[in-house]
Structure 1
């Protein structure tokens, strides 16, 4: 029964702002769970919980142990692609692809848990499971199937030509069995990059929903159906059922695609999908984000956001009782025994370079020889940029002993595109400097001499204008550099699939060091888009 509520009440997209792409969703009773991609960041695959599809809180990471996720040497924007979450008979399943390198192996695996907050099992690696974006489907007869994409066995007939395949999965043996079936080889060969398949069984029909057109501006969602799980599948004549490529490149929401669907306990149908919000031109510093859009069934086919057909920034809420979670504090004082779930590492941490206990109330980072400019696991703890306009600041205690020792605040897209506001020694003097790194080339933008070990650092962004400040005493901010071009933090400049990060780092730049940098607190305040 639909609950009584104000039908005009709205919510704001995205439901999870910032770099949270490729959302997949499942419902268990009145609870909803959602996972997203993480690529070369650790822990992998954040998992979120919601009661109303609008308010989400993170409850953990699926891949939170080095035994589950080895990202050593994994290039930026490779690693964990497009997870799918499903629930069956008391067990949660998460299946995903590990992409080793740009042209290296794509290895599919799944993990399981009885509690979505964890712990999750170690990976069950699937043999002879090509392609990316795997999904699981549990049929009424107890059989389980995996879908993914692959290059057609007969070869590609045009660039990025892929097909969707299906094979049965033996849950007991944890391996694929039986023949592979080709379900969908394009749509009249007018599209490319067929991927992200999800199977559903609704009123006796099997529906296969996929993403097409690549994850950029031409991204889209298409669907087909069949009376048999192995096909043949009939294309929906309204395909694509969801895209924004016809709206132009200056539309505030672009690159819509990679969708998963869920039915509420009240009978409504909703899609979660990724999309981007360009700003300052066609630049997407926030990466691909998670959005929510309604749909209904007409003549056996989904009609997305009827009367509008697009993802909107402001949308009517689901007919579910609003269930907001407590607001998380803007400032992390590092006074808990574990890092907050918002924090990530670059690749799998292999040594104890950080501590919350060696100096209570502080995040201590040990200086590692690894640099922020290398494909490695540097001494770095960071979080996503989630707003176009934001302020982030921290207080650091650091006493560099050599000119190669540095620590501070970094904004990065990857190892070759970043801003570093760092404390260091230069000609035996303590300095604070701003370094811009673009296409692997570095430029010192500004340098100021400072005194003492305690230093406040702040970055403010207003759109693509980034401003950097420092202070010796609280709130006595001085300009280090203003109106720096933030577009280099966009995938449209750097390439790849991730969003911008803001983090704390410490490096001895190729040398051994026993030095440390202590961060007393870190504050991030974002301004919602108007």
Structure 2
């Protein structure tokens, strides 16, 4: 079957996937957004449906003070003896831990900490033994892919931490996973940094602690030499099979604004690339070691066509699935009934780095999209945002001024903030809209049948290259407390996110 990449578009990085029976499950990093670790389900590896999040309670996910380079890093999802495990790192609070559940659609346990440090943790089960690995220092101070045996009931170490592999020679060795196939152990990892030099490498051994022999033709997957190609940064993969002899890499990559502009806004996304084993048990991946926008893979012949993105509204979205917050929210400030969203502002602005502003976000999942929402404007301010970080976001903002409503565009890029295209409109509801392309974010306001152009801003200033962060642009609704004496509830209605045309990778 021929399918299109990415299979999960938008800010869904560091994918980890497993197969249980005929169903696949997938998790991603979430950094400083709550709830954490998006959880997807699929029956064909191509079409994925979000079924929730893994970390849904503050006891699982403390995020106070986490910025857009903090919070939850790369998770790993595994299944053993009827139980699902998700292991990850909260880099700002408590380090490495795992949670578990016997019902993938239900609640997960409170965190169980692991004594070994590092980041990008992974689990490997064999018999009654559990192996824990991460990228970091072992007990002797050596750096590399470090592994120990743990008690899965408690997280306690049963053996010393030991470096088992130092990689294939590239910088920033990370994202390790261990597998067993045909009696051999395969150790998969990334090098090059999660940017334009990103690449997948692997080694093979005869025991869980090695020694491991590098694949002679590493990197097995990279787009680092595909100049003039939109998909870049391939890496951080998990290896999964379909139970019928076909293997795949689920991995991250990102799409530049176009084939020549080396900037990306939607973050690192989830891609699917086929794998082929040779007679000697070594494997190759993709199209001559690269990932393409259009790929053909054996084992997917019966898969239905890749489903297009579905238009979203308040009717088919929920808080805690599509809608997320920055850090742990004050739930008393939100009221949502699938037709109307009401929010009551606190003192935190979108620039906040410690607590949660009153704002809801969903991921931008396509270059070409249109967002629209109607705001009933009380004394406080409210708006629509394209948010990358606390210091990089584009907003359309409305505020009541006497018996009128002020509408404006606000651009925050680093230390500079501008407020322009100011319009004073008659009191009453205002409909805000945002039209996105791969190059621009364009805001509009409409009141009493008249539409006002609030201006166009360049996408490149919301790029990860400028932000230096690990997330992607989020489309959000927000409130801000002004000089008004009371934090009034602000009502949002008629929300829609539509996709006027499909993105075409170049």
Q: Counterpart in 2 of 1:419?
A: 394
Deviation sequence 1:131-155 (CA, Å, 0-9, x none):
100000011x321101101146676
CA contact (8 A) 1:371 1:509 kept: no
Q: Counterpart in 1 of 2:117?
A: 130
CA contact (8 A) 2:16 2:237 kept: yes
Deviation sequence 1:246-267 (CA, Å, 0-9, x none):
223x321101000001110221
CA contact (8 A) 2:137 2:146 kept: no
Deviation at 1:106, TM superposition (A): 6.6
Q: Counterpart in 1 of 2:294?
A: 314
Q: Counterpart in 2 of 1:478?
A: 452
Which residue, 264, 272, 285 being the options, matches 1:304?
285
Q: Does the residue aligned with 1:493 lie in a helix, a strand or coil? A: helix
Deviation at 1:521, TM superposition (A): 2.6
Figure out how many residues of one structure are paired with residues of the other and give that number: 498
- CA distance change for structure 1 residues 512 and 24 in 2, over 3 Å: closer, same or farther? farther
Q: Counterpart in 2 of 1:514?
A: 487
Pair 1:265 & 2:243 matched: yes
Pair 1:239 & 2:218 matched: yes
Which residue, 16, 23, 27 being the options, matches 1:31?
23
Q: What root-mean-square deviation, in Å, do the aligned CA atoms of Structure 1 and Structure 2 show?
A: 2.1
Q: Counterpart in 1 of 2:363?
A: 384
**Unpaired stretches in structure 2, ≥5 consecutive residues:** none
Q: Counterpart in 2 of 1:116?
A: 104
Provide the rounded CA distance (Å) in 1 between the counterparts of 2:28 and 2:483.
Answer: 34
Pair 1:255 & 2:243 matched: no
Which residue, 4, 7, 28 being the options, matches 1:12?
4
Which residue, 182, 187, 197 being the options, matches 2:176?
197
Q: Does the residue aligned with 1:523 lie in a helix, a strand or coil? A: strand
Q: Counterpart in 2 of 1:492?
A: 465
CA contact (8 A) 1:408 1:421 kept: yes
Deviation at 1:186, TM superposition (A): 3.4
Deviation at 1:322, TM superposition (A): 2.3
- CA distance change for structure 1 residues 231 and 340 in 2, over 3 Å: closer, same or farther? closer
- CA distance change for structure 1 residues 349 and 318 in 2, over 3 Å: closer, same or farther? farther
Provide the rounded CA distance (Å) in 1 between the counterparts of 2:308 and 2:283.
Answer: 35
Deviation at 1:429, TM superposition (A): 4.0
- CA distance change for structure 1 residues 349 and 340 in 2, over 3 Å: closer, same or farther? closer
Provide the rounded CA distance (Å) in 2 between the counterparts of 1:247 and 1:180.
Answer: 38
CA contact (8 A) 1:399 1:453 kept: no
CA contact (8 A) 1:207 1:226 kept: yes
- CA distance change for structure 1 residues 325 and 289 in 2, over 3 Å: closer, same or farther? closer
CA contact (8 A) 1:411 1:500 kept: yes
Provide the rounded CA distance (Å) in 2 between the counterparts of 1:73 and 1:489.
Answer: 22
- CA distance change for structure 1 residues 123 and 324 in 2, over 3 Å: closer, same or farther? farther
Deviation sequence 1:430-451 (CA, Å, 0-9, x none):
2101010010321112100111
Pair 1:89 & 2:70 matched: no
Q: Does the residue aligned with 1:134 lie in a helix, a strand or coil? A: strand
Pair 1:42 & 2:34 matched: yes
**Unpaired stretches in structure 1, ≥5 consecutive residues:** 1-8, 157-161
Q: Does the residue aligned with 2:465 lie in a helix, a strand or coil? A: helix
- CA distance change for structure 1 residues 135 and 417 in 2, over 3 Å: closer, same or farther? same
Deviation sequence 1:335-360 (CA, Å, 0-9, x none):
88x53621110111134111025xx8
Q: Counterpart in 1 of 2:136?
A: 150
Provide the rounded CA distance (Å) in 1 between the counterparts of 2:306 and 2:485.
Answer: 45
Q: Counterpart in 2 of 1:159?
A: none
Deviation sequence 1:248-295 (CA, Å, 0-9, x none):
3x3211010000011102210011000010015111101000000001
CA contact (8 A) 1:57 1:325 kept: no
Q: Does the residue aligned with 2:72 lie in a helix, a strand or coil? A: strand
- CA distance change for structure 1 residues 291 and 391 in 2, over 3 Å: closer, same or farther? same
Which residue, 451, 459, 478 being the options, matches 1:505?
478
- CA distance change for structure 1 residues 169 and 24 in 2, over 3 Å: closer, same or farther? same
Q: Does the residue aligned with 1:177 lie in a helix, a strand or coil? A: coil
Pair 1:366 & 2:372 matched: no
Q: Counterpart in 2 of 1:225?
A: 204
Pair 1:339 & 2:319 matched: yes
Provide the rounded CA distance (Å) in 2 between the counterparts of 1:213 and 1:339.
Answer: 36
Q: Counterpart in 1 of 2:255?
A: 277
- CA distance change for structure 1 residues 369 and 260 in 2, over 3 Å: closer, same or farther? same
TM-score for both structures, normalised by structure 2: 0.94
TM-score for both structures, normalised by structure 1: 0.90
CA contact (8 A) 2:377 2:400 kept: no
Provide the rounded CA distance (Å) in 2 between the counterparts of 1:495 and 1:529.
Answer: 25
Q: Counterpart in 2 of 1:181?
A: 162
